[in-house]
A and B are shown apart, each in its own frame.
Chain A
Amino acid sequence: MSGAHKSGALLEVSGLSVDIPTEAGVLHAVRDVSLAVRRGETLCVVGESGCGKSLTSLAIMGLLPPSAQRRAHRLALAGEDLQAAPARRLRALRGDRMAMIFQDPMTCLNPAWTIGNQLEEIFTWHGKGNRRAAHDRAVALLERVGMANAAGRLSQYPHQLSGGLRQRVMIAMALMCSPDLVLADEPTTALDATIQLGILQLLAELQAELHMGLMLVTHDLGVVARIADRVAVMYAGEVVEEGPARTVFTAPRHPYTRGLIDCIPQPDRMVPGQRLGTIPGMVPSLVGEVQGCAFRTRCAFARPECAADVAPRHGPDAHMWRCVLPPGMLERAA
């Protein structure tokens, strides 16, 4: 089933838009987003709150709220068109070939069932084997995600577990059917800082071990630098820069990316009391037609031509950005 398609990408998203009708007008929450995730590759989607990161991942899964409208030129998993697929086929794909890890592990486990029940359910629901096999798989996965006494944990209810443990359960749950693609929507945001790194390392390890595609949505660039193969920076519903992690970090071409990188606190290079970096201004409203570069109101390099629509520019090693600035400008400024 794999490898038959031309581009070689596991997940292909091209021209994805999500519109949400509101009282004030149509909210263009996601605008013309194109992404690709290859097998065994980690794509990090970065951006501040409300830039459409989560909606993008929900749109890929087909789990948008009923009022939201999704449009895309192409939306495919392993070559299979997700837009044309009937609901039954989508349900078969979800959880089996593509899985999702949610932001808040405190609310995404059903309090009425034991974690064993919930883990085994996915396995048997997708017809992977009987309860015995499901149980063995659940124990093995809980051990793999680092839970002590995995067999005993299966009979516990979610409220008996801490946040970090629940997120480990969620990861195990996403992996029950060995999916090709895992979408992780800010999997560590709701957790203590001390546990965040452990969870991310675990995700990165599992991704390499199982050779999955991983799309990690986050607003933490520090995280991205550690585990991403590719980075997509989103601003106001648009991918403003996308490329290999190393290129994006060392030679960003969009002022927003530059701004985000400058916002990362660096303990060794900063003096105590120094103000942390910020990007001045506010995210523009996405209600109604959005013209030109959405970042120009906050951009230190804004020019008159930014008010017209900015076509994506392409550099070497599949580096894409949406900015009119000539190369070198950003480096000199920084």
Chain B
Amino acid sequence: MPGSTPVSAPGEELAAQAALPAPARRRRRPRWLRNIGLIGSALVLAAIVLAALAAPWLAPHDPYFQSLNDRLLPPYFVDAERAVPAHPLGTDNLGRDYLSRLLYGARISLLIGFFAMVVSGLIGTLMGVLAGYFGGRTDTAVSFLVTTRLSLPIIMVALAVVSVFGGSLEVVVLVLGFLLWDRFAVVMRSATHQVRGREYILAAQAIGCSVPRILWQEVLPNVLSSLVVIASYEMAQAILLEAALSFLGLGVQPPLPSWGLMVSEAKEVMLFEPWMIMLPGAAICVLVLAINLLGDGIRDLTVPEGRA
């Protein structure tokens, strides 16, 4: 018979695999402990979330209670002489306790950020994954919608919507949710398109998987790391936009204690009491930074090569 392939020792490969160590589980713990950004941001975010949840118990005062006798009291770190123990972070120009308003403000920011992210994430991911998987006409349609969406200025749309429906928490969530899905769609589309060409998709079809199952089981887990990053970015983005909209009077309405609204209210006395604008500003900054760092850290953990 022609064609004698060189005969290998069949035991060779088996011996090599037996010499491998058992699945190394030891490496799992240090991997995420080593990531300082992840740990730090997770702790900060956890603190903010806890503060928001426990606001009724933590806040020393009712955030809506006005006392015109106590208006514009400075916090301890600004003027220890005039500060009073009852208001450690001072009071605003209506005499409301600033610490209480900041704590309750965290609720507004987190609520709007989270739900706007969920709404836009659902819309954008669905569209992006379908466009990336099916390509062709679906892709053209989704690309057209993305282009349409990108040509709408968020502030103008918000202005129009608020003037029709009035500003409220729900309106802000929906406006942001329906306006922030473009990045989800674009990133999910290209990530899915990449995964679509992999042989394991073909292999999944070859074992008889249906399309929804392939999207859910094969595609989604492999685009999850990009999704997490985009989701964190969009949540931060939504929080910033809520602050901006509230600052412009297009977002949540007074007297709700939104951080953006607090910045807006403080700008009238900005030159005399700069701390009033700095406190909510710093709060927004820390929250947004923590969310972004957390997203990056989780991305590092969830890339498939990172699991072990």
Contact = CB atoms under 8 A, between A and B. Distances in A.
Is B truly associated with A? yes
A149 interface: yes
A125 interface: yes
B2 A266 contact: yes
Nearest to B304: A111
Contacts of B304: 111-112, 157, 159
A232 interface: no
A93 B23 contact: no
Contacts of A156: 23
Given A122-B207, A146-B14, A160-B23, A198 B8 contact: yes
Contact of A100 (B6, B7, B198, B206): B206
Interface string B203-238: 111111110010001100110100000000000000
A266 B3 CA distance: 6
A63 B207 CA distance: 11
Interface in B1-41: 1-10, 12-14, 16-18, 22-23
Given A122-B207, A266-B2, A110 B222 contact: yes
A113 B204 CA distance: 13
Contacts of A225: 1-3
Interface in B142-190: none
Interface residues of A, number: 60
A164 B198 CA distance: 19
Contact of A157 (B6, B13, B199, B307): B307
Contacts of A193: 5-6, 8
A82 to B, nearest CB: 13
A63 B305 CA distance: 29
Interface string A110-129: 11110000000110011000
Contact of A102 (B2, B203, B213): B203
Nearest to A156: B23
A194 B13 contact: yes
26 contacts: A61-B206, A63-B206, A94-B205, A95-B206, A109-B200, A110-B217, A110-B218, A111-B200, A112-B224, A121-B207, A148-B17, A155-B23, A157-B308, A159-B304, A162-B17, A164-B13, A173-B207, A193-B5, A195-B8, A197-B10, A198-B13, A222-B2, A223-B3, A226-B5, A249-B1, A266-B2
Interface of A: 61, 63, 66, 90-96, 99-100, 102-104, 107-113, 121-122, 125-126, 146-149, 152, 155-157, 159-160, 162, 164-165, 170, 173, 193-198, 201, 220-226, 249, 261, 264, 266-267
